[in-house]
Amino acid sequence: MFRFGLRRFATAAEAASPYGIKVSKAQGSVNGFVGAIGNTPLIRLGRLSEETGCDIYGKAEFMNPGGSVKDRAALYVVKDAEEKGLIKPGGTIVEGTAGNTGIGLAHVCRSKGYKCVIYMPNTQSQGKIDLLRLLGAEVFPVPAVAFENPENYNHQAKRHAEKTENSVWTNQFDNAANRRAHIETTGPEIWTQLGGKLDGFTCATGTGGTLAGVTRYLKEVSDGRTECWLADPPGSVLFSYITSGGKLNERAGGSITEGIGQGRVTDNLKPEIKLINNALHISDEKSIAMVYRLLDEEGLYMGASSALNVVAAYELAQKLGPGKIVATVLCDGAYRYADRLFSRKWLDSKGLYEAIPEHLRKYIVLE
């Protein structure tokens, strides 16, 4: 009787959640932190899809074990150093990062037994700095200066690695292993999850790895049919560069988004730049409004960079027309930015309070 009851419950569970059981069987178990990176869900964004007459999807990269899409790049740049014999057990990984790559690297280093040293602009949120230190990383916040300046955080990271024994600077911006992560994992996952039907892809870029890698894979597998667009925040040169055919490098202002936007074409992006169909410039006003829309309409608690990507997907869907399928990247959640994004004082200081629709201001719960 007891065994019969168990079989009945097992059968009922499979009937109630056939998709979940199928995914669990396919995934099986994984080995440690690094085994859990990738294979994230693809979420259809219902309200935005209805408004455009398209199907708009977000790749749930916030569900990676370190909380962002950068877990993928972190794993691949460390693997690349191991494969090339650049680091030995117990060595030190050094990186310059203005975003989540440092957090991904700190996790990967802990799981693999490496020390982790991070140089970052002192403009980054205190929450990120605190988390890095909690994960055992040594963090050096330094003044934010242009890449051309020898005191730029990337150059300081490189010098640190050069003077430290058994150490490697992983160079996320110009290390092709970053792009390879998305050619080999993110791109194939999106294409497979959509059954090979995808009309448009868009996302912002910092290092260039995600956009370049996914674009390379999608262009090859679709025989060029999938359009790939850059999404760019204020203060970045890439929108002007792409829309002018490489003739302009104009930038103006700054952005509330962290870890995206760029003052140059990185070595990750450069090989694929001609594959990118076009670019969209997304204002901070649109991004902050989408942070609140996603929370209210989809129950998704997303950071500003994710919201910018969704705005871009929405606008790309409008350009492509009804019936199309568009995907983007939900790169991370709002947990590391809540003290800013949901603070009335901070929103006022950035002139963004009025950009939030009145009916969504109920979510501004911090002073």
Q: Give catalytic status of residue 84 as yes or no.
A: no
Nearest CA to 154 among 115, 117, 208, 109? 117
Look at the alpha carbons of 339, 341, 342, 345 in this order and tell me if their dihedral is positive or negative.
positive
Q: Of 59, 70, 128, 219, which residue is the catalytic one?
A: 70
**Where are any strands of DSSP class E within the chain?**
42-44, 55-60, 92-96, 115-121, 138-142, 167-169, 200-203, 227-232, 278-281, 325-330
Both tokens of 128, joined, read 């990120």
Strand partners, 140: 119
List alpha helices for 171-265, DSSP H.
Answer: 176-181, 187-193, 209-221, 238-243
CA separation, residue 70 to residues 13, 37, 98, 295 (Å): 34, 10, 12, 22
CA dihedral 173, 60, 217, 222 (to 10 degrees): -150
List phi, psi (to 5°) of 299: 70, 20
Report, as residue numbers or ranges, the catalytic residues: 70
